[in-house]
Every structure is written in C-alpha cells, then in structure tokens.
C-alpha cells in the first residue's frame, strides 16, 4: 500500500491531513490513535469506499478504487447482519465468495466454505444458525468469510471487539498462521497498544495526521503516544512495558 499526501475532508471536517506512508508486502500493520483520529477513514480509503480529497493511494499496485475486491478480505467491527435472520454459518461465509447473499451453493463452493471454516477452527459450526453464535464464534465465521478467497490483503476493524481474552489470543494466532501460509498483508485498527506491539510488524500512529510509522518499538514510543493521545502518564507507563517479548 502506498499513500502519498493523503487528505480527506467531509465538508468542513478535516478527517486526514497530508498522510504519507508505504506498507511493504507481507507486513502485519496495526493502526492506533484516539477516537476521531481518522483510523476508519484511512481504512475506507484503502478499501476504495472513500475518495481522497487530495493525494494518491495505491493498493496492490492499483488505485484503491480500482482494485479487484476478490483480492481483499475485510472483517468489520460492527456486524450489521440481523441476528434474527435465519442464516447459516456456511451461507455467511459463502457471501464472501459471491459478494452477495448466496442462494444454492455449488459443490465447489461448499468445499471452499468448509475449508475456510475449518481453517479458523469453526468446522463444527457448519449447519448452525448465526443467531445462536457467541461473539467469539461469530468472529471466527467472519474471519472465514474474509479468508475464503485466500486474499492477498486482509483488513480488520477492531477485530477483538466482543470476544474474551482467550478468544482474542486465538484470533491473533489464526491471523498469523494465515499470513505465514499465504504471505498476505494484514492491516488492523486497534485500541490495544499491547496487541499492536506484540503482534504487528509495523504500527501507524494516527491523529488526523501521521504521527508515527514503523516497527512497534519505534512507532509506539512515549513521544508518539503522548502526541497522539495526550495521556502522558499512560503513555509513559506503556513505554516502560515495551521490554516484553514480541511475537517471533
């Protein structure tokens, strides 16, 4: 992903200002910043859903609004599917194949859906209605939906929302396993600085403009966190904890 002098305005509101960065292929990138920092706006620009007011954005070698959507997997923060809708796990995953709600699945589609669910440890959910899933089970199904096309780029908006600590650890393991197998690039928005430090290879610190970008130990410095969040004590306490081991 290449972002050059990106500025986004919504009327009089400045959402992003002159952001420039380049994400290498195969990176695991975390985007951190306070509420209203433009994190979701940046993700939507990369997905081709919001046009830049100024600047240039390229994703997988093409302008962000010209990328083949089959090359990108996406896991939203808020699951807008009506939980009372009589949907089965495999139908939700298959919607990632067709980019529309599926009717009758072909045998080939069923095989790909089953493989995607088994990849995320949710094979036992086949045939079960979405309305009965816990938060962790639903997140696994959405991960399977994002993985089903084996995309080169996976974007996640607050992927740990609604799942417990054990489910969160398992989710990061699934993401890292997928990345090791496919070489995909991962990009996630998170409010969890520690998750960003321990799991990401690169961190974007954002507050409308780019404050820090690079390896976690550099981007999550006390200076960057203070500038982004203004919580001097919190940032200092976190910076003291950065000596812990990161993922291999």
pTM of the entire structure?
0.87
**Total structural domains within the chain:** 1
Residue 178 domain boundaries = 2-80+151-243
* Contact criterion met (CB below 8 Å) for 142 and 114: no
Q: Residue 145 domain-assigned?
A: no
Residue 58, C-beta contacts closer than 8 angstroms, at least 6 positions apart:
1, 2, 64
Q: Supply the pLDDT for residue 248.
A: 44
Q: Using only C-alpha atoms, what is the Rg of the chain?
A: 18
In a domain, 109, yes or no: no
CA 149 remoteness from chain centre: 16
pLDDT digits (tens, 9 = 90+) for 209-238: 999 999 999 999 999 999 999 865 555 455
Reported as a pLDDT band with limits 50, 70 and 90, residue 207 is very high
In a domain, 86, yes or no: no
Q: Do 160 and 130 meet the contact criterion of CB atoms below 8 Å apart?
A: no
pLDDT per position as a tens digit, 76-115: 875 556 666 778 999 999 988 877 777 778 899 999 999 9
Bridge partners, residue 207, by sequence: 209
Asked if residue 216 belongs to a domain, the reply is yes
Burial of 68 from C-beta contacts in 10 A (0-12 / 13-18 / 19+): exposed
**Does residue 24 fall inside a structural domain?**
yes
In angstroms, the Cα distances linking 18 to 68, 209, 224 are 26, 6, 17
| 132 is a domain residue | no
Identify whether 137 is part of a domain.
Answer: no
Residue 143 region by backbone torsions, left for phi larger than 0, else alpha for psi between -120 and 50, else beta:
alpha
Instruction: Give the pLDDT of residue 103.
Output: 73
- The domain spanning residue 203 has which CATH number? 3.40.50.300
pLDDT at 42: 97
């Amino acid at each position: 992903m290449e972002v050059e002098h990106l500025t986004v305005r919504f009327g009089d509101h400045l959402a992003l200002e002159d952001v420039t960065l380049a994400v290498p292929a195969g990176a695991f990138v975390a985007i951190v910043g306070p509420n209203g920092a433009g994190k979701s706006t940046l993700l939507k620009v990369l997905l081709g859903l919001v046009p830049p007011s100024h600047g240039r954005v390229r994703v997988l070698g093409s302008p962000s609004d010209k990328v083949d959507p089959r090359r990108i997997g996406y896991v939203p923060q808020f699951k807008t599917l009506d939980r009372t809708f009589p949907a089965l796990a495999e139908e939700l995953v298959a919607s990632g194949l067709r980019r529309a709600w599926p009717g009758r699945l072909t045998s080939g589609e069923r095989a790909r859906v089953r493989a995607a669910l088994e990849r995320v440890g949710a094979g036992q959910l086949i045939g079960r209605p979405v309305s009965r899933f816990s938060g962790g089970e639903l997140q696994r199904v959405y991960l399977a939906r994002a993985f089903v096309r084996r995309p080169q780029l996976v974007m996640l908006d607050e992927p740990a929302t609604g799942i417990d600590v054990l489910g969160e650890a398992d989710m990061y393991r699934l993401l890292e396993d997928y990345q090791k197998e496919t070489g995909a690039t991962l990009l996630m928005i998170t409010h969890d600085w520690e998750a960003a430090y321990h799991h990401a290879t690169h961190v974007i610190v954002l507050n409308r403009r780019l404050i820090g970008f690079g390896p976690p130990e550099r981007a999550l410095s006390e200076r960057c966190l203070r500038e982004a969040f203004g919580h001097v004590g919190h940032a200092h306490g976190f910076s003291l904890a950065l000596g812990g081991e990161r993922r291999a």
